[in-house]
Amino acid sequence: MAGHTDNSVLIDAPLQLVWETTNDVASWPSLFSEYAEATVLEQEGNRVRFRLALHPDENGTTWSWVSERISDPERHVVHARRVETGNFKYMWLFWEYVPEGTGVRMRWVQDFELKPGLPLDDTAMTARLNTNTAAQMQRIKEKIEAAARRAAAAR
């Protein structure tokens, strides 16, 4: 059995601001609450390979992995995958940005399968990812909307 999540949030901000902010991987530690570090390892055109590190868990363990993103700025979509899969057999991600009203609907789809023998199964990981994704999307929404308000006030 594989895991699948599909979450979205409506961000009341211009498409270009949402796109640029969420695709600036190096700034993710200030955008996401879960990342302690985001190190760009390689960038060529619209492809970026990077290492993410989480904040230490309750046991003091810091989890990190290498991922790759390929963005399509004309279609406003991103295809990503974990290169170093860790506890996952695979982790594939799809992000899309769709104009809606005066804002942008940002959608994240994750497809994955955990390796056997872990304390969590795909169903439990799906629930964990859905909870965390909602929290991260809300944080991103608030940060980008605040930046949009500051930019509008400065005009």
Tens of pLDDT, residues 7-19: 999 999 999 999 9
Check residue 155 and give its pLDDT: 82
Q: Determine the length of the chain.
A: 155
Average pLDDT on 103-114 reads: 98
Angle formed at CA 127 by CA 129 and CA 131, multiple of 5 degrees: 55
Q: Which CATH architecture has domain 3-154?
A: 2-Layer Sandwich (3.30)
Q: Is the pLDDT of residue 1 over 90?
A: no
Check residue 97 and give its pLDDT: 98
Check residue 134 and give its pLDDT: 97
Check residue 47 and give its pLDDT: 98
